[in-house]
Structure 1
Amino acid sequence: MTIEDPRAALLDAGERLIAERGVDVPLREIAAAAGQRNNSAVHYYFDSRGGLIEAIVERRMNWLEERRMGLLAHYETEGAAHEIRTLVAMLAAPILELMGAQRVTHYGRFLEVVRAHPVIADARRLAGADRAAVRIIAVRLDAALPQLPPRRRRQRLETMATVMFALIADYERALEAGARTADPDGDAAEIIDMIVAMLTVPVREATPGGA
């Protein structure tokens, strides 16, 4: 079998196998799944397991950043670019769009698996917190939640990426198992609604005795 782009094949295989079997899946198995006879192919192209993980994240983030920038421009013209549901949609919907745009089926599960890996450091980096579009959206989300005390607001925004990854990962698993039929618009709306609910639920006042 001829591999036209061995690096891309390794990225695809790494994303799928890490999503399915965990971050410690043997690198030789990733190489074999990518059609590589050389067991050291991952080291050759990416230096290490951490290098492979970073490359998988970076590849998807490039597409996501471009898409989110386009959405920001679109919603700016519509005057909706500061609404909380629109802001959440700009974070979550593009990840779901990957399934249709590039037939990506394992990225949500991959993100869920690698979010605690040392090479990533935290979920915010996986969510693209170092990218301009995500920084803009994050600042606007913070401003869109004035009803929350600063500590609660910060806590919820930091937790949002983890919740988003878990919801999308569960969605991927349900589709793969045939437990649900894909409804791209409806499914995206449901996931966005759940994230918005998590961000906006009123803070419960402490009761005497901590009950």
Structure 2
Amino acid sequence: MTPPRVAAPVGARSLIMDTAERLYATRGLAAVSLRQIGEAAGQRNKSAVQYHFSGRDDLIKAILAEHAEAIERHRLAMTARHGDPDRMSLPERIGCIVLPRIEHHIDLGTPSWYGRFLAQVTVEPALREYAVRAHLDTPSLRRLYDAGASPGPGAARRKDMTRQLIVHMSAELEMELAREQPDPEDAAAAWRRLGADLVTAVSGLVGALGEAAGGEGHGR
């Protein structure tokens, strides 16, 4: 196969993104400069990162988009197997929300940095809304959240609580696996255990809060 004419620049861009994700995940967004990213990525040109990205936020959005695309492929395949979200049980819908992210973490291998990176981004004021809108709120995910959702302000709160639980528990496990360095099979098993626990926990949370919201609605 003939390689694309832009093979070298794309390689440098990907290396910069991978390096940025690792540094942001392990050091925090505020502690890492674009120059440090370029140096850690082995770029001789001090302006290499700015050549590929207009700035920090553009770089972070590119990393988010790359992961979102991979997770969406898993989720579309899973929802296709289950069918119409309106006909799914609550655990099935929650599984289609949670488990594609788990499978993506398994694909990344160990060590990985995406979970901790995303946890950093979702609490960064300048980036949080973008992360929620463009990365954690894809069309397939919105369809799953909307299916069977109780109306009213409580629906948005349940969605936020679900997101926080998934993001931060994934970051915790990723950090633990990076420290322990288990073999790939054990790491995959650990991710799938977390996935099963999250489906159970989120189903219980959403079910309980949905019932409470319904009771409040009947009380008015």
Normalised by the length of structure 2, the TM-score is 0.78
Tell me, yes or no, if structure 1 residue 164 matches structure 2 residue 129: no
In 1, distance between residues paired with 2:208 and 2:181? Answer: 29
Partner residue in 2 for 1:85: 91
* Uncovered stretches (5+) of structure 2, i.e. residues with no partner: 1-7
Tell me, yes or no, if structure 1 residue 70 matches structure 2 residue 77: yes
| Greater relative contact order structure (CA < 8 Å, 6+ sep) | 2
Partner residue in 2 for 1:18: 24
Moved more, 80-89 or 185-194: 80-89
Between Structure 1 and Structure 2, the one with more helix by share is: 2
Q: Is this contact kept in 2: 1:109–1:169, CA < 8 A?
A: yes
Shift of 1:61: 0.9
Q: What RMSD over aligned residues (CA atoms) do the two structures have, in Å?
A: 2.9
Q: Structure 1 residues 88 and 56, CA, compared in 2 at 3 Å: closer, same or farther?
A: same
Normalised by the length of structure 1, the TM-score is 0.81
Shift of 1:123: 5.3
Q: Secondary structure at the match of 2:127?
A: coil
Partner residue in 2 for 1:33: 40
1:171-190 to 2 correspondences below 5 Å = 171-178=173-180, 182=187, 183=189, 184-190=191-197
- What one-letter code is carried by the residue in structure 1 that aligns with 2:120? V
* Uncovered stretches (5+) of structure 1, i.e. residues with no partner: 207-211
What fraction of aligned residue pairs are identical, expressed as a percent? 25
Partner residue in 1 for 2:103: 97
1:97-176 to 2 correspondences below 5 Å = 97-103=103-109, 105-117=112-124, 118-121=126-129, 124-125=132-133, 127-129=135-137, 131-140=138-147, 143=148, 145-146=149-150, 150-176=152-178
For this pair of structures, how many residues does the alignment match?
198
Shift of 1:48: 0.1
4+ runs of 1 displaced by more than 3 Å? 202-206
Shift of 1:176: 1.7
Q: Is this contact kept in 2: 1:27–1:49, CA < 8 A?
A: yes
